[in-house]
Amino acid sequence: GYAIPQFNINNLEWTRFILEACEEKNSPVILGVSESAIKYMGGYNIVSHIVSDLIEYLNITIPVVLHLDHGKSYLSCKEAIDSGFTSVMIDASKLPIEENILETKKVIEYAREHNVSVEGEIGYIGTANTDITIPSIEQVIMYVNETNVDAVAPALGSVHGIYKEEANLNFDMMNYLKNK
């Protein structure tokens, strides 16, 4: 009955501020980290240690999820899991749906062995300068049923980055999927 915020972290200072603010509001939080931020911060292990050490040092008592945001491959998801991430997103959305399903299932199999949740993506969100591929409702349902993902991020007409034109969100599909 309530939303849990996800904030993407890029450094120690952001991570500390987000944890302190969420603790003050008694709000669980998801700390998302992109592959590029992981490289900038020094690798999966360092990111995981920054988060776990700050949780201990700041006496954080709220639930905190450390989430790989838009992991591009099985290997990146595996490395995140092995480093202590508690959630991963496998974004194989640029692949044909059959290959996306296979890659997602591979990540899920490994994640289940480590009690890690998995988010998958279907359709391609892209950026303001690329094409957007919106999956059909049937494709989204098939993807969820065949992969057994914990969460799904279907492309519904949004784009990442700076908008050059207005997003064309598919609210009908959102409402339909919400009720499934």
Which is catalytic among the residues 53, 69, 82, 91?
69
Q: Report the distance separating Cα 97 and Cα 87, nearest Å.
A: 22
Give me the chain's average pLDDT, please. Answer: 89
Q: What is the pLDDT of residues 139-167, one digit of tens each?
A: 888 999 999 999 998 776 666 665 566 66
pLDDT at 173: 72
Helical segments of the chain, H only:
12-24, 35-41, 44-57, 74-82, 97-113, 137-147, 171-178
What does residue 143 show for φ and ψ, rounded to 5 degrees?
-60, -45
CB-CB contact of 37 with 60 (8 Å): no
74 SS3 class: helix
Query: Which structure tokens are listed for 172?
Result: 């009908």
Who's near 106: CB < 8 A, 6+ residues apart? 74
Quick check: is 131 catalytic? no
pLDDT tens for residues 57-88?
Answer: 999 999 999 999 999 999 999 999 999 999 99
Percent pLDDT > 70 in the chain is 87
pLDDT for residue 125: 62
The pairing of strands 87-90 and 29-34 is unpaired
The answer on pLDDT for 127 being more than 60 is no
Output the CA torsion sign for 148, 152, 156, 162: negative
Bigger pLDDT: 162 vs 98: 98
Determine the average pLDDT of the residues in 43-50.
98
pTM: 0.88
